[in-house]
């Protein structure tokens, strides 16, 4: 596609339910990132996929959060047993990683996010 696509754009769920958020990166982009942003706050890093390397999961806030990336393309972020504090905008980004002269090109392209509300 022309850009990073996230679905759904909005999700309202009941506390305790599981949710799945989807991200379709730009075709050919090897790197994919998930971030969480609460109202008026910065972006909280969640997870980073790069090619065939093991993902960097260091930002996942608890074991209720997991993410996978199938076939090096589409990614799904799953939140189990949702809590009210999980309410936020979840942003996905992808980049065409390359290293030239030891310098990484990591310009990230963002989707419009999924606004998750846990009631």
Partner 1 sequence: SQQGEEDPQALSIQEGENATMNCSYKTSINNLQWYRQNSGRGLVHLILIRSNEREKHSGRLRVTLDTSKKSSSLLITASRAADTASYFCATASNTGKLIFGQGTTLQVKP
Q: How far is the CB of 44 from partner 1 (least distance, A)?
A: 7
Q: Is the dihedral of CA 26, 32, 36, 40 positive or negative?
A: negative
Question: Among 21, 31, 60, 116, which residue interacts with partner 1 (rule: CB under 8 A)?
Answer: 31
Alpha-carbon gap, residue 12 to 28, rounded angstroms: 32
Question: With respect to partner 1, which residue has the nearer C-beta, 1 or 14?
Answer: 1
Contact in structure between 47 and 59 (CB atoms under 8 Å): yes
Alpha-carbon gap, residue 112 to 92, rounded angstroms: 8
Q: Retrieve residue 6's tokens.
A: 């996230």
Considering only residues 34-53, where is the footprint of partner 1 by CB under 8 A? 35, 37, 39, 41-45, 48, 50
> Interface with partner 1 includes 28 (CB under 8 A)?
no
Contact in structure between 55 and 67 (CB atoms under 8 Å): yes
What is the size of the binding site for partner 1 (CB under 8 A)? Answer: 32
Q: Which residues bind to partner 1, rule: CB under 8 A?
A: 4, 31, 33, 35, 37, 39, 41-45, 48, 50, 56, 58-59, 89, 91, 93, 95, 97, 103-113
């Amino acid at each position: 596609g022309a850009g990073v696509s996230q679905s759904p754009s909005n999700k309202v769920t009941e506390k305790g339910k599981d949710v799945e958020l989807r991200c379709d990166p730009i075709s050919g982009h090897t790197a994919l990132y998930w971030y969480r942003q609460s109202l008026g706050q910065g972006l909280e890093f969640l997870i980073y996929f790069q090619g065939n390397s093991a993902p960097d999961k260091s930002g996942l806030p608890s074991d209720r959060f997991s993410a996978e990336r199938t076939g090096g393309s589409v990614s799904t972020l799953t939140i189990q047993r949702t809590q009210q504090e999980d309410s936020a905008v979840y942003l996905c980004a992808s980049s065409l990683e390359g290293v030239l002269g030891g310098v990484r090109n990591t310009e990230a392209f963002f989707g419009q996010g999924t606004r998750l509300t846990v009631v």
